[in-house]
Chains A and B, each alone.
Chain A
Amino acid sequence: MYQKISLAVQEGEIEEVDQLTIKSLEKGNDPLDVLNNALMSGIEIVGQKFADGELFIPEVMMCAQALQAGIDRLNPFLKQDENPHRAKIVIGTVANDVHDLGKNLVKMMLTANGYEVIDMGVNVSAEEFAGAVRGHNPDVVGMSALITTTMLEMSKTIEYIKTQGLHNGSLKILVGGAPVTEKFAKEIGADLYADDAIEAARILREIL
């Protein structure tokens, strides 16, 4: 059964994942076990196939939709503290940048992976990011930028979060976007860097 669910996720079969997840629960399988050994195992293979150039963004989107259908089925049966993926993430596109497709892809992948995502939208100032960190107490704050001029806002935002004393031991700062590199992420003091939405989900699965 788990193998079937995993394959259905890999094929992006939304309805099939939904039905198989219901069946799996009806058979008395542990919801957490279904999450980890069927759904997440499927999406991990999807991520690997994307990295290997075997799958492309539209197909990955279908797989994520399928994953989300399964997680939606499981959620009522998962206790809050049982779901290891149920961390909170604040996400937004930095000030002066209005592009949201990349940020939305990350949001989608993280939501599909079971994380609670608070989307701040686009053109989010350093003060707004800091306010969201104060208000939501997230595990991760994620920033996106599309062009070289606006990626500099990431540096200002991280600096501001730090000067406000919000970058304590538990909060991780994740950056990404077309012009952003791992080197730049390190230079500006980010904790994490992801090349794309799938990698963002993979990295967070590792650390949260």
Chain B
Amino acid sequence: MIIANPNDIPINKSKVLCYLGYKIDKNKVKDIIFELLDEQLEKARTLIVPRGVYRVLEKNDLVNHKLFFDAQKIAFGVCTIGNELEQEVKRLFACREYTRGVLLDSIGSVSAEAITDIVNDELNNYARQAGLNITRRFSPGYGEWDVQEQKLLFNYMGNLTAGVRMLPSGLMLPIKSVSFACKISNFKMKEVNKGDKCLTCNMRHKCLYNQASKEYKKEAKPGN
């Protein structure tokens, strides 16, 4: 299991604000929001427990699945920041500290993606050192991969789940968790994640992050 020091988790403030709908290049963010954001960022570092696991399986070990047709190996991963931040968000809402609550929640989302990036980087290094190609990560619930197939992913992870539990609906607890797969092969493979997972997300039309985050979407490159 990869356990990261909370202070080493890169939490990009602009990205946190993007999740709340701000287009950083266009919208002026009030000073008070930045002050509260800094305050909640500091608090978040004491609440998050970023950790993740991955498992690489030979394709022969898997049931036939159209998404993995061109892979030789499949890597599955589960990452989380734990439950404490979420509990603090609930507490803030209960105390009517709504602004702090939404900021902390957004920080949680960015932190969960950040620990997933770290675990994904390890996986990329593994593939690189083995001289193999690896695709971008893709997750159940996005694009062609039905959220119901979260069960498949958790089945293959076995006991390796970093403390993340899957519910019958396919949702995970703690909520701020990310599961994913990457295809690995000697040969070039078809990318499932086209570089902007928002493009294949059926909630993209309503999502504030999708509307506000053009700059971050450009960052996703194969193997990153």
Give residues in A with beta carbon < 8 Å to B: 12, 53, 56-59, 61-62, 64-65, 68, 96-101, 104-105, 108, 146-150, 178-179, 195
Query: Of B103, B169, B202, B207, which is within 8 A of A58 by CB?
Result: B103
Contact B21 A57 (CB under 8 A): yes
Query: Of A104, A149, A178, which is within 8 A of B207 by CB?
Result: A178
Instruction: Give every chain B residue within 8 A of A56 (Cβ-Cβ).
Output: 17, 20-22, 27
- Does B1 have its Cβ within 8 Å of any Cβ on chain A? no
Query: Of B22, B36, B202, which is within 8 A of A179 by CB?
Result: B202
Instruction: Give every chain A residue within 8 A of B141 (Cβ-Cβ).
Output: 147-148
| Closest 5 pairs (CB-CB, A-B) | A96-B169, A61-B98, A61-B99, A178-B203, A57-B20
Q: How far is the CB of A154 from chain B (nearest CB, A)?
A: 13
- Does B173 have its Cβ within 8 Å of any Cβ on chain A? yes
Contact B167 A98 (CB under 8 A): yes
**Bound: A59/B36 CA distance, A:** 11
Contact A147 B147 (CB under 8 A): yes
**Bound: A179/B141 CA distance, A:** 12
Give residues in B with beta carbon < 8 Å to A: 17, 20-22, 27, 30, 32-33, 36, 89-90, 93, 96, 98-99, 101-103, 105, 141, 147-148, 167-171, 173, 175, 202-203, 206-208
Query: Of A65, A104, A149, which is within 8 A of B147 by CB?
Result: A149
**Bound: A176/B224 CA distance, A:** 35
Contact A150 B169 (CB under 8 A): yes
Instruction: Give every chain B residue within 8 A of A105 (Cβ-Cβ).
Output: 98, 102
22 residue pairs A–B, Cβ–Cβ below 8 Å: A12-B99, A53-B21, A56-B20, A56-B21, A56-B22, A57-B20, A57-B21, A57-B208, A58-B20, A58-B33, A58-B99, A62-B98, A65-B96, A68-B96, A96-B168, A99-B175, A146-B171, A147-B169, A148-B141, A148-B202, A149-B170, A179-B202
Contact B147 A97 (CB under 8 A): no
Q: How far is the CB of B91 from chain A (nearest CB, A)?
A: 12
Contact A104 B93 (CB under 8 A): yes
Q: How far is the CB of B80 from chain A (nearest CB, A)?
A: 14
Q: How far is the CB of A67 from chain B (nearest CB, A)?
A: 11
Query: Of A53, A101, A179, which is within 8 A of B203 by CB?
Result: A179
Contact B98 A65 (CB under 8 A): yes
**Bound: A12/B36 CA distance, A:** 14
Contact A98 B173 (CB under 8 A): yes
Contact B96 A98 (CB under 8 A): no
Instruction: Give every chain A residue within 8 A of B147 (Cβ-Cβ).
Output: 147-149
Contact A195 B206 (CB under 8 A): yes
Query: Of B32, B102, B175, which is within 8 A of A57 by CB?
Result: B102
List the B residue with the shortest CB-CB distance to A195.
B206
Query: Of A61, A101, A150, which is within 8 A of B171 by CB?
Result: A150
**Bound: A105/B102 CA distance, A:** 9
Q: How far is the CB of B88 from chain A (nearest CB, A)?
A: 13
Contact A59 B30 (CB under 8 A): yes
List the B residue with the shortest CB-CB distance to A50.
B21
Q: How far is the CB of B105 from chain A (nearest CB, A)?
A: 6
Contact A98 B171 (CB under 8 A): yes
**Bound: A100/B94 CA distance, A:** 12
Instruction: Give every chain A residue within 8 A of B21 (Cβ-Cβ).
Output: 53, 56-57
